[in-house]
Amino acid sequence: MPKSVIIVGGSIAGLLHGIYLKRHGANVIILEQDPNPRRSSHNAGICFGPSVQEFLRLYNDTGIQACQPAVVTRLAYRQNLYWRDTGIVRHLTSWGVLYRILRANFDGLASDAVTIPPPARAGDGQCSYLPGQRVTSVQKTSDGVVVGYLGEDGKERCSVADLVIGADGLHSTVRGLLNAPVVKEYSGYVSWRGTVCEAKVSPETARYFQDRTVLSLLKRTYIVCYIIPPDSGSFAPGTRLINWVWYCNLSETPETNFAELLTDTNGHLHANTVPSGLVRAEIWKSHLAHMLPLIPGPFAELFTQTEQPFITKVNDALCSKATFFDGRVLLVGDALATFRPHFALATEQAARHCLGLARVWKGEISLQLWEREAVDHAIKIWLGSRVMGAGLLRGWVEFLLLAWKYVVFFARSKLGWNRV
Q: What is the footprint of ligand FAD within residues 232-251 (CB under 6 A)?
A: none
Question: Helices (DSSP H) in 110-212: which residue ranges?
Answer: 173-177, 203-209
User: Which of 39/280 has CB closer to ligand FAD?
Assistant: 39
Interface segment toward ligand FAD; rule CB under 6 A; list 7-15, 65-73, 212-220, 368-376: 7-15
> How many Å separate Cα 340 from the centre of its chain?
10
Residues in binding contact with ligand FAD, number by CB under 6 A: 30
Q: What is the footprint of ligand FAD within residues 308-367 (CB under 6 A)?
A: 333-335, 346-347, 350
> How many Å separate Cα 98 from the centre of its chain?
11
Rounded to an integer, what distance in angstroms lies between the CA atom of residue 182 and that of residue 130? Answer: 28
Rounded to an integer, what distance in angstroms lies between the CA atom of residue 25 and that of residue 357? Answer: 15
Residue 309 three-state SS: coil
Q: What is the footprint of ligand FAD within residues 38-97 (CB under 6 A)?
A: 39, 41-42, 44, 46, 95
Q: What is the footprint of ligand FAD within residues 10-39 (CB under 6 A)?
A: 10-14, 31-34, 39
User: Which of 59/410 has CB closer to ligand FAD?
Assistant: 59
User: Which of 240/399 has CB closer to ligand FAD?
Assistant: 240
Residues paired with 5 in a beta bridge: 28, 163
Rounded to an integer, what distance in angstroms lies between the CA atom of residue 130 and that of residue 344? Answer: 28
Rounded to an integer, what distance in angstroms lies between the CA atom of residue 153 and that of residue 42? Answer: 26
User: Which of 346/393 has CB closer to ligand FAD?
Assistant: 346
167 binds ligand FAD (CB under 6 A): yes
> What's the DSSP call for residue 43?
S
User: Which of 348/403 has CB closer to ligand FAD?
Assistant: 348
- The closest of 103, 91, 111 to 46, measured between CA atoms, is 91
Provide the minimum distance between the beta carbon of 62 and ligand FAD in the complex, in angstroms, as a whole number: 19
User: Which of 306/403 has CB closer to ligand FAD?
Assistant: 306
Rounded to an integer, what distance in angstroms lies between the CA atom of residue 243 and that of residue 198? Answer: 10
Question: Which residue is closest to ligand FAD by CB?
Answer: 333
Rounded to an integer, what distance in angstroms lies between the CA atom of residue 19 and that of residue 347? Answer: 15
Q: What is the footprint of ligand FAD within residues 125-164 (CB under 6 A)?
A: 134-135
Residues paired with 160 in a beta bridge: 146
Q: Which of 5, 8, 354, 378 binds ligand FAD (CB under 6 A)?
A: 8
Binding site for ligand FAD (CB under 6 A): 8-14, 31-34, 39, 41-42, 44, 46, 95, 134-135, 167-170, 173, 333-335, 346-347, 350
